[in-house]
Amino acid sequence: MINSFSLQGRKALVTGSNTGLGQAIAAGLAAAGAEVICAARRSPDETLDLIGRAGGKASGMQLDFKDPMAARDIFVGRDIDILVNNAGIIRRADAVDFTEEDWDAVVDVNLKALFFTTQAFAKELLAKERSGNVVNIASLLSFQGGIRVPSYTAAKHGVAGLTKLLANEWAAKGINVNAVAPGYIETNNTEALRADAARNKAILDRIPANRWGRPEDIAGAVVFLSSPAANYVHGAVLNVDGGWLAR
């Protein structure tokens, strides 16, 4: 019986894979059999060690999306057929105080770089008439407004929209484009929220699963959307949020 969740013989590139969600996603793809390129602006050595100790195959790449076009040439000749757009940043301030610098920084990394990286990936696949998978990391703020994160909210709404647009254009050409929208996950970025007793309780009170998500919860969804099991899934934004949006 064929394992439709296997990624054996596939090669994946995961952006922002040195820590947190990106690290878990890279490890999850490797565990499913993919060879993984761990791309990040800082060294992904910890991720490479994690994958290596588990018997997986991975290599590192420096990629800094302060230049949104940084990935324009990286797919040529590498035979990558899975792209996970995970890299992202966030800036917080009241809307009336939000600066143009913070707006541009977040939109450049979280939306512009995502689009042009995906464009470069698809150009290579289409030129060789090969199939592939794109998994974008969206957010609960692809659906909700949030507070004090205007550029992040705008960018993540954009990620959901681009996921659908690119799926419409490429589904018939063998390229699956989907997204995962994480809920509240135990990472360095949420450490302050979890340490605030009142805020932590308010969050948990809304999550039907009654726990914070773990990075591997997101990794499993990405593996699915990268696998043959998701061959007929196009343009989906999969909420992995413990039921948050169902409340």
Q: Would you please indicate which residues are annotated as catalytic (active-site) residues? A: 152
Query: Residue by residue, what is the 3-state secondary structure of 179-196?
Result: EEEECCECCHHHHHHHHC
Phi, psi angle pair for 148, to nearest 5°: 65, 20
Residue of 155, 74, 167, 166 lying closest to 108 (CA atoms): 155
CA gap 13, 26 in Å, rounded = 8
Residue 65 token pair: 């999306």
CA gap 37, 75 in Å, rounded = 11
Which residues, 6+ apart, have CB-to-CB distance to 120 below 8 Å?
71, 72, 73, 74, 75
Residue 40 token pair: 């990040």
CA gap 213, 104 in Å, rounded = 29
Residue 149 token pair: 């994160």
State how far the alpha carbon of 44 is from the alpha carbons of 16, 41, 134, 197, in Å: 9, 9, 21, 32
CA gap 151, 149 in Å, rounded = 6
